[in-house]
């Protein structure tokens, strides 16, 4: 509930900011454009909240599919309206300052000009009313004998320039957000990028050099994906001809009853030494929990590694492939157990660990792991979110290393994931399937 409350608060705050900057600043009070634009902000916000809370409200996957597309797309548009709005604050402020300064400079000069032998400013209330009402007092004069229309003519351009600045800034913000989201949708719904990454493991038996491990994570089967999403990923993985396939968590965003049909193509995964799976945080968010998916994946020929390991025997050499549960299993007593997964093994041979979250690499290093395979971050999914991922995770994407207990380093590879969560949008972080090639 705390996370939901935080998200709802953020949505309200961001929409208030957007209304103030994009609607109020660029429209006239009480005007039809202001009313229309207010509803343009409010209506999709309501749909977005329903889409976000759909699973928690128990509205069913069929309804979720209806509201998810407009709701999550608006979440992306809202986000980039906010980002571009913040970027435009500086040029908007500079332009407004320049206009205001010019107006202040022009006012004393206008007041000093003799009008019918006198010099007196036109009443400010009359000017404001004339500017807003389209110059209704143009035939009248000020009490000094100075024609009011002359004062209006001096005041209107400055007021119009400020409105022009606001409308121009709003147009730039809207165009930038929509263009960015459009680009992001094309990336998210397109083919994942194949990343081929050689990784040197000093303890690897030379006979295993060249062993290939396909890594995929964060497929996120859900209301915005179809069976074709899974079929494409399976087809691309099979094209890599990997020796082993690892699915590093966050496979689903729903129950087996809702999404089992979408996961069925995983049965066709091909590799020499099998396909393996570990839980991610989203498996623990489903209504029935992760256990039903553990059994479903077993029936599809994908072996879950539940705080356990298997031996990969290749060309007469052996490598340990281990997997630990996600940290979100801790509250239910189903969290990671490194001692169980790695205890009692031959310390002279290398071990590759599947762990959904990169932050688990600290414990992996303490247990002498050579290489950890992770996902979770999506590479930030929508820039500039990637700049904030390090606040929670040590690696955003790619290969990194941390010192290992007893000397040497534990390497961690973080894949950007093959799917998306929430908005079907990826900016600066294209979807990815990785082929790790182990080297001595």
pLDDT digits (tens, 9 = 90+) for 38-68: 999 999 999 998 888 766 666 667 778 889 9
- Which has the higher per-residue pLDDT, 99 or 176? 176
What pLDDT does residue 152 have?
43
Instruction: Say if residue 114's pLDDT is above 60.
Output: no
User: Helix 61-112 vs helix 32-52: angle between axes, to the nearest 10 degrees?
Assistant: 150
Tokens, residue 164: 């022009």
Instruction: Say if residue 131's pLDDT is above 50.
Output: no
The whole-number average pLDDT for the span 364-392 is: 97
pLDDT in tens, 213-257: 999 999 999 999 999 999 999 999 999 999 999 999 999 999 999
* Average pLDDT over the chain, rounded to an integer: 88
Instruction: Say if residue 99's pLDDT is above 70.
Output: yes
Distance CA(63)–CA(364), nearest Å, equals 41
- Between the CA of residue 78 and those of 12, 216, 227, 422, what are the distances in Å? 11, 29, 29, 13
> Rg of the chain's alpha carbons, rounded to an integer?
30
pLDDT in tens, 167-205: 999 999 999 999 999 999 999 999 999 999 999 999 999
Measure the CA angle with vertex 41, ends 36 and 42; round to 5°: 95
What pLDDT does residue 215 have?
98
What pLDDT does residue 57 have?
62
What secondary structure does DSSP assign to 164-197, as a single string? HHHHHHHHHHHHHHHHHHHHHHHHHTSPPEEEEE
Instruction: Say if residue 161's pLDDT is above 60.
Output: yes
What pLDDT does residue 7 have?
82
Instruction: Say if residue 74's pLDDT is above 90.
Output: yes
Measure the CA angle with vertex 179, ends 177 and 182; round to 5°: 105
The whole-number average pLDDT for the span 12-27 is: 95
The whole-number average pLDDT for the span 303-308 is: 98
What pLDDT does residue 123 have?
40
Sheet holding 409-414, edge to edge: 308-314, 317-323, 351-354, 371-374, 409-414, 398-403
Interstrand relation of 193-200 and 432-439 (parallel, antiparallel or unpaired): parallel
Buried b / exposed e across 68-85, counting CB within 10 Å, b at 16+? beebbbbbbbbbbbbbbb
Distance CA(159)–CA(110), nearest Å, equals 16
The whole-number average pLDDT for the span 5-14 is: 90
* pLDDT above 90 coverage of the chain, percent: 76
């Amino acid at each position: 509930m705390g996370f939901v409350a935080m998200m709802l608060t953020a949505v309200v705050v961001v929409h208030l900011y957007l209304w103030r900057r994009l609607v109020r600043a660029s429209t006239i009070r009480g005007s039809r454009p202001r009313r229309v634009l207010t509803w343009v902000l409010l209506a999709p916000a309501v749909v977005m909240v329903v889409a976000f809370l759909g699973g928690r409200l128990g509205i069913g996957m069929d309804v979720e599919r209806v509201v998810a597309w407009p709701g999550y797309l608006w979440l992306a548009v809202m986000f980039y309206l906010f980002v571009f709005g913040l970027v435009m604050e500086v040029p908007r402020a500079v332009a407004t300052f320049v206009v205001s300064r010019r107006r202040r400079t022009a006012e004393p000069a206008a007041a000093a000009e003799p009008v019918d032998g006198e010099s007196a400013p036109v009443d400010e209330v009359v000017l404001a009313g004339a500017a807003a009402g389209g110059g209704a007092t143009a035939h009248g004069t000020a009490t000094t004998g100075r024609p009011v229309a002359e004062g209006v003519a001096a005041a209107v351009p400055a007021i119009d320039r400020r409105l022009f600045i606001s409308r121009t800034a709003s147009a730039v913000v809207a165009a930038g957000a929509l263009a960015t989201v459009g680009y992001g949708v094309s990336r998210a719904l397109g083919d994942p990028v194949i990343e081929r990454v050689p990784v040197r493991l000093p303890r690897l038996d030379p006979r295993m050099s060249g062993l290939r491990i396909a890594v995929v994570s964060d497929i996120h089967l859900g209301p915005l994906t179809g069976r074709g999403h899974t079929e494409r990923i399976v087809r691309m993985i099979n094209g890599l001809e990997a020796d082993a396939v690892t699915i590093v968590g966050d496979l689903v965003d729903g129950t087996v009853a809702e999404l089992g049909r979408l996961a069925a193509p995983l049965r066709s995964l091909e590799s020499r030494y099998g396909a393996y799976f570990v839980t991610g945080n989203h498996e623990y968010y489903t209504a029935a929990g992760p256990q039903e998916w553990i059994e479903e994946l077993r029936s599809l020929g994908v072996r879950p590694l539940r705080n356990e390991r298997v031996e990969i025997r290749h060309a007469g050499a052996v490598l340990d492939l281990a997997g630990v549960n996600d940290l979100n299993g801790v509250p239910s007593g189903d969290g990671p157990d490194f001692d169980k997964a790695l205890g009692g093994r031959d310390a002279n041979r290398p071990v590759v660990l599947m762990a959904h979250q990169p932050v688990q690499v600290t414990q992996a290093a303490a247990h002498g792991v050579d290489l950890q395979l992770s996902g979770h971050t999506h590479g930030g999914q929508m820039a500039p979110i990637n700049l904030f991922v390090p606040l929670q995770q040590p690696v955003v994407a790619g290969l990194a290393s941390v010192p290992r207990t007893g000397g040497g380093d534990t390497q961690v590879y973080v894949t950007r994931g093959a799917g998306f969560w929430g908005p079907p949008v990826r900016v600066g972080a294209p979807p990815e399937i990785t082929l790790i090639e182990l080297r001595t």
